[in-house]
A and B are shown apart, each in its own frame.
Chain A
Amino acid sequence: MASDLRELIHGGAEAKRHLFASENFAGDYGRSVIGRVKRRRAVTATAMGGGTVVAVGAIAVGGWQLTGAGFGFGMPGSAPAVVCTTTAAAPPSASADNAISLLSVPSPSGSVIWAVAIGSEDPPNIVANIALDLETHEVTGSIPDGNSLVLTPDTEGVYAVQFSDGNRLTFAVEAEELVLKSSSLEPTGAPTVTCVTTTPEPTGSSSPTSSPVPSPSLSLEPSTTAALVRSPFACGFEFPSEEDGDEMAIVEVETLTAEEAIAELSSQWGGDWDAIGVDRPTGDVLYVRAEPDARNPEVIRAAGFGGSVGWRDPVLELTGLSSSDGRVAAQAAAFVGVADRRVVATLAVSASIPGVPYLVSVIPDSSSGHSPATYLLDKQALVPCTDGATWDELYAVGGMVAEEMDDITGPYYAWKKVD
């Protein structure tokens, strides 16, 4: 075997080319590749436009406000950046229109998620999320209060979402892309949708699914739905254990007295509580800090990109971020209410508690590694996922996701039961 390495490599490559010539790469992978390209192009376009996109489970609709958002991590010499989150509802924009837009957002591995937005408000007025499981091809609809339903198409492959206010949305999934068929949605200043139902397509409508077949026979299937909810920040997520994490960890969970919390937070703001912009707590305060896995340099590096820290699922924030170098990250820490290991209450904003500031998210200074921390000033601020839902346990949750050009790191999540 006296041969030149170059010749051997070329010969080997030629042999492999013959081997692969019998395969049908385009047939086997073509749709998947094209779908991924479309989604990344959509994400890039959205990020460039500076819009905020939401995804996964419990989402806020036109009713949240972040003050001090848009900072970078670890600003040298600066005071700790603090995000104060209130529940003040945003009024409908005067420029709002009825246009429906589908926003493709970074999704957990094995799924694709689109956010359905109406109007041209900034942040977008998201009325629903549609998730496609790439393995099972199951389609799930999620609405702002966190309810999720497994959707079933009619005989023509069209899915329908009927909102409680009478509005209706129909769509199809083609080659892993969501294609809007019809919509009667109009922008509003506050969440108006409270559930997703399964009414059949009305005969004679302008929708392509006007056939009288017993169409979308949708039903709430908690067990199936839970399997598709991959974010512990979202209603319906089922914790497989009391503590776990993927490239993330809950490193601190504490219950502080009101005085302790006031002292801690004030000290980070030069002793001036009023500078934080939220009401002083009167009862116990929960504190959580989540941290990317220090053993994984790539995660640590990605977490250091400029971006945002808060309490919402980090995926919700990511595509609203942009930077000159194409690197952005979002981290979050929060609490959720749990019953039977399932998330039944979240910090999702609700019109039922208008204008009450109840939590503070803090980025410690750079010496602390930029990990997000959240103080929940009022445990009563948790919002039930469904009317009347009660919870007997609290879980601390954390998450991070980053994007570098078109390469997504994460999302990674962690959780820990609060003792």
Chain B
Amino acid sequence: MAHWEPILDEVMRERAPRLLAYAAMVAGNDAEAHDVLQEALVRSFSKRRQFAHVNAAEAYVRRAIPSAYLDGLRKRKSRERSHDRAFERDTAVPDIDAQVDVQRALAALSPRERACVVLRYYDDCTVAQVALQLGIADGTVKRYLSDASVKLAAKLGSELGESTGSDAVPVLPTGKVGH
């Protein structure tokens, strides 16, 4: 067995739930998370790199998930179908109302907006780090975050504050959305 196989196997056996959850947040639905994680795993292990520990491998795969998702968008012709299925599945899962709401709100964002929001607010990346990871400009990230904040506020109907980081982008309260 090649040296990378035990690490990959361990990542899939022990870290998959966490990585799938992350992929689901980035992709905006659960159904696509499996495809995204598979692609991220393949990308991460296909090169000649070596991982000394499963933690390092998991971190690398995690970083590969946003780009694997965004790169794969154009190739997934059945995205709308899987999106619909995901909603069906989500609604069947008992969950906290607020979390369901935010997941639905995230799902309503554009793919790049969602990736920026997840990286910014879940991974606590700075705008510069988000830009670097997604290969886009800082200003573009800020625009995505700003647009996302408007949409999220409209969906969630509440004031959502951003408290940390000088480059933070506040989520606007519903009342400020021009409807």
Contact = CB atoms under 8 A, between A and B. Distances in A.
Interface in A4-41: 4-6, 8-21, 23, 25-26, 28-30, 32-34, 36-38, 40-41
B160 A37 contact: no
A326 B96 CA distance: 46
Contacts of A17: 17-18, 20-21
Interface in B29-60: 30, 33-34, 37-38, 41-43, 45-48
B21 A20 contact: yes
Interface residues of A, number: 38
Contacts of B99: 8, 11-12, 15
A32 B24 CA distance: 20
Given A2-B158, A5-B121, A406-B43, 15 more contacts: A5-B102, A6-B121, A9-B25, A9-B118, A11-B102, A15-B99, A17-B21, A20-B16, A20-B24, A23-B20, A25-B20, A33-B8, A33-B41, A36-B38, A298-B74
B46 A4 contact: no
B101 A41 contact: no
Contacts of A41: 46, 48
A32 B4 contact: no
A4 B117 CA distance: 13
Interface of A: 1-6, 8-21, 23, 25-26, 28-30, 32-34, 36-38, 40-41, 44, 298, 406-407
B96 A15 contact: yes
A140 to B, nearest CB: 24
Interface in B1-22: 2, 4-5, 8-9, 12-13, 16-18, 20-22
Contacts of A44: 46-48
Interface string B51-76: 00000000000000000000100100
The CB with the most chain B CB atoms within 10 A, among A5, A30, A38, is that of A5
B34 A25 contact: yes
Nearest to A21: B17
A13 B25 contact: yes
Contacts of A25: 12-13, 16-17, 20, 34, 37
B157 A1 contact: yes
A14 B17 CA distance: 10
Contacts of A26: 9, 12-13, 16
A33 B33 CA distance: 14
B146 interface: no
Contacts of A14: 21
B103 interface: yes
B161 interface: yes
A110 B118 CA distance: 32
A149 B96 CA distance: 56
Given A1-B157, A25-B12, A406-B46, A11 B96 contact: yes
- Interface size classification for chain B: 35 or more
B156 interface: yes
A11 B20 contact: no
Contacts, number: 134
A387 to B, nearest CB: 41
A134 B106 CA distance: 34
B88 interface: no
A18 B21 CA distance: 9
Given A1-B98, A5-B152, A9-B118, A16 B25 contact: yes
A9 B43 CA distance: 26
Contacts of A298: 74
Given A5-B171, A13-B122, A19-B93, A406 B47 contact: yes
Nearest to A6: B121
Contacts of B147: none
A19 B121 contact: no
Interface in B128-179: 152, 156-163, 171
Contacts of A13: 21-22, 24-25, 122
10 smallest beta-carbon distances between A and B, as pairs? A25-B16, A16-B21, A40-B46, A26-B12, A8-B102, A17-B21, A20-B20, A20-B17, A12-B99, A21-B17
A1 B34 contact: no
A11 B98 contact: yes
B154 to A, nearest CB: 13
Contact of B42 (A4, A8, A33): A33
B46 A33 contact: no
Contacts of B161: 4-5
11 contacts: A9-B106, A9-B117, A13-B24, A16-B25, A16-B30, A17-B17, A25-B20, A33-B38, A37-B45, A40-B46, A406-B46
Contacts of B21: 13-14, 16-17, 19-20
Q: Which of B13, B46, B152 has the most CB of A within 10 A?
A: B46
B25 A29 contact: no
B95 interface: yes
B80 interface: no
A5 B45 contact: no
Nearest to A17: B21
User: B21, B43, B47 — which one has the most chain A CB atoms within 10 A of its CB?
Assistant: B21
A18 B118 CA distance: 19
